[in-house]
Amino acid sequence: MFKKILIANRGEIACRVIKTARQMAIATVAVYSDADRDALHVEMADEAIHIGPAPASESYLVADNIIAACKQSGAEAVHPGYGFLSERASFCEALESQGIVFIGPKPKAIRAMGDKIESKKFANAAKVSTVPGYLGVIEDADHAEKIAGEIGYPVMIKASAGGGGKGMRIAWSEADVRDGFDRARSEAQNSFGDNRVFIEKFIVDPRHIEIQVLADAHGNVVYLGERECSIQRRNQKVVEEAPSPFLDEKTRKAMGEQSVALASAVEYQSAGTVEFIVDADRNFYFLEMNTRLQVEHPVTELVTGIDLVEHMIRIAAGEKLAFAQKDIALNGWAVESRLYAEDPYRNFLPSIGRLTRYRPPQEGKFGSHVIRNDTGVFEGAEISMYYDPMLAKLCTWAPTRIEAIDGMGQALDGFVVDGIEHNVPFLAALMKHPRWREGRLSTAFIAEEYPDGFKPMTPDGQQTAALSAIAISATLIEANRRERYADRLRPAALPLPEDWIVKLGTNNYIPARLLEGLATIPFEMDIDISGTKLNVVTDWRPGDVIWRGAVSGIPITAQVRPFLNGLRLDWQGLSVKTRVFTPRQAELDRLMPIKLAPDTSSLLLCPMPGLVVAIAVIEGQEVKAGETLAVVEAMKMENVLRAERDLTVGKINARKGESLAVDAVIMEFA
């Protein structure tokens, strides 16, 4: 076994690999860029080596710097994680030529599977069922139109070198194909430096289901069941689970065996994933093989009890697989949520800044439930624009799917993140979504269920009652604390009023009557809210962000943050401002004028902190709805800002190359 390995990555995946290496008593070497001097993976590793400036192209992607770091530290092997150099055959070869082991497959398998056209040809030869289409490079728009006609609409135009959900386009008609072909080709050239595109049938409303395989250097290959990753936004995975609620034993076995056949055909070794899309009739079609550890690998680990990183390391060291196919069983259910630094209310635009508060739920086994959180950040850390905006992968395991989902809901409710915008509200709302809970999924789920994006939600009746109860409990506990200051001059408090009005949001007034209350910690009260009797128990103390307790026996975890004279409550994806009034206060409050939000419809505001890449219009220009006004770059992504209606450009305030803060006025409309 190796004595020391280097992890050529950063963030959560570097931390995750270090954890397993430590358990195996292998010393670890981290590498870091200028932006990552204080990163968690650097802290966790036994040693750390600086490899260059912040941009990945000058640090994490420079193979020579990684090799130099191996030499300097004496690392015998390199784990590449995912992304960065993980799927570069030339990197494996460079390592091999220096006598350093690559913890992953051999260059031949990476090459064969790294190109979508080549891998489909390979899969066909190995009798794996592939998406119907044309197995070659499309030469020009005429060729594209001819092929698309033969396949039958709709079709998908895909970059052969594509990855990360980029470089693909759907076409429903000849006109779409012509337009899509040109765009897909230039996109492929710009993103991957390779303009080859191909065309395949677009499978409408499919599910994304993938098979995890593990293969050693001695010809043993097994599959570790599947993961379903149908909850995607723009072809990128957001929530994953294992097993899939859709597969039956027969389909699972067929997909597993085809995956093993493909892995054997490419002489695969290490952990790998064979991705399929599955239609409503459980016909499955090969998409691609990812020759690396997958982001969502923890859900497989949770249902199989097998540590994939451990086996990648063992296989790389030449060990034989310690188990056969018959030894692998799927146990219970696991769900993973990807937490991103992005604003769900602003079309998921990236958000950067300092994590002023970052408190994930406690990991471990609680009764029959498990919580696991793979993270690479910490309270006080800076989320920069240089790398992937993923903060953490929160996973829950339970004996059944619905328990794992409810466990995820609770864990998200208790996940505290302040300082940046993040997608926890979206994920928490999703866990309550009936269609997700029923497992009626397709890759179009988010687009179909949130056609206008994710909007702040209004609480239903039960949620309203629970939120009111939480607000009153916190108010009474705070009042009790104030009464107990030792050096108070006023006499002891008068009995608490019985009647309350809770104001939720801007104009929802909920009457409540305290039936019985004990102002102690733990706190307990019986309360009537709009005619419903509730019992509330909590051990919340003033200042706590997390409110944990039970409303009529149902456990609740919510978050409480003070604002002006009230409390903002975050729960189940809701974010509600609450004020607790006496009836007289409520009466007066209703008379207060409501402050209207300023009208910004005649302004183009910068949606996130970023760099102006282009101003596409000039002052006085008439623009049609949908036309590009400006392009702003943030987190390595170009965000095109388009006109929402027909308009005339007025004064332009921002210039190309300028760095702007969020909500800065880019231009005014006449």
Least separation in angstroms between CB 87 and Mg ion = 11
What residues make contact with ligand ADP under the rule CB under 6 A? 82-83, 131, 156, 162-165, 200-203, 206, 208, 232, 235-237, 275, 277, 287-288, 290, 294-296, 388, 443
Spatial separation of the C-alpha atoms in residues 515 and 534, rounded to whole Å:
10
Chain centroid, CA 48 distance in Å: 27
Least separation in angstroms between CB 162 and ligand ADP = 5
- The residue type of 65 is N
How would you list the strands of the sheet with 155-159, edge to edge?
168-171, 155-159, 197-201
**Partner from Mg ion, ligand ADP, none contacting 272, C-beta within 5 to 8 A by type:** none
| Residues from 136 through 165 that contact Mg ion (CB under 5 A) | none
- Give the residue closest to Mg ion by C-beta: 275
Please indicate whether residue 96 is annotated as part of the active site.
no
**Partner from Mg ion, ligand ADP, none contacting 131, C-beta within 5 to 8 A by type:** ligand ADP
| Residues from 271 through 290 that contact Mg ion (CB under 5 A) | 275
Per DSSP, the three-state class of 348 is: coil
**Partner from Mg ion, ligand ADP, none contacting 79, C-beta within 5 to 8 A by type:** none
Spatial separation of the C-alpha atoms in residues 466 and 463, rounded to whole Å:
5
Q: Helix crossing, 89-97 with 63-73: angle to 10°?
A: 30
The DSSP annotation for 285-319 comes to EEEEEE-S--TTHHHHHHHH---HHHHHHHHHTTP
Q: What are the CA-CA distances from residue 223 to residues 239, 270, 483 (Å)? A: 21, 12, 63
Which of residues 12 and 275 has its CB atom nearest to Mg ion in the complex?
275
- Give the residue closest to ligand ADP by C-beta: 163
**Partner from Mg ion, ligand ADP, none contacting 156, C-beta within 5 to 8 A by type:** ligand ADP
Per DSSP, the three-state class of 522 is: coil
**Partner from ligand ADP, Mg ion, none contacting 203, C-beta within 5 to 8 A by type:** ligand ADP
Sign of CA dihedral 493, 494, 500, 505: negative
Least separation in angstroms between CB 155 and ligand ADP = 8
The two structure tokens encoding residue 89: 């055959």
Of the residues 76, 210, 288, 336, only one is catalytic, namely 288
Which of residues 225 and 517 has its CB atom nearest to Mg ion in the complex?
225
Count CB-CB contacts under 10 A for residue 356. 11
Least separation in angstroms between CB 299 and ligand ADP = 11
How many residues does the structure list for the chain?
A: 670
Spatial separation of the C-alpha atoms in residues 601 and 423, rounded to whole Å:
26
Which of residues 294 and 337 has its CB atom nearest to Mg ion in the complex?
294
Backbone torsions φ then ψ of 17, nearest 5 degrees:
-65, -40
**Partner from Mg ion, ligand ADP, none contacting 241, C-beta within 5 to 8 A by type:** none
Q: Are 187 and 262 in contact (CB under 8 A)?
A: no
Which of residues 207 and 314 has its CB atom nearest to ligand ADP in the complex?
207
Which of residues 7 and 560 has its CB atom nearest to ligand ADP in the complex?
7
* Nearest to 166, CA basis, from 193, 127, 139, 134: 193
Interacting span for Mg ion (CB under 5 A) from 38-46, 269-277, 302-310, 564-572: 269-277
Which of residues 114 and 566 has its CB atom nearest to ligand ADP in the complex?
114
Least separation in angstroms between CB 275 and Mg ion = 5
Least separation in angstroms between CB 245 and ligand ADP = 17
Residues that bind Mg ion (CB under 5 A): 275
Any idea which residues carry the catalytic annotation? Answer: 288
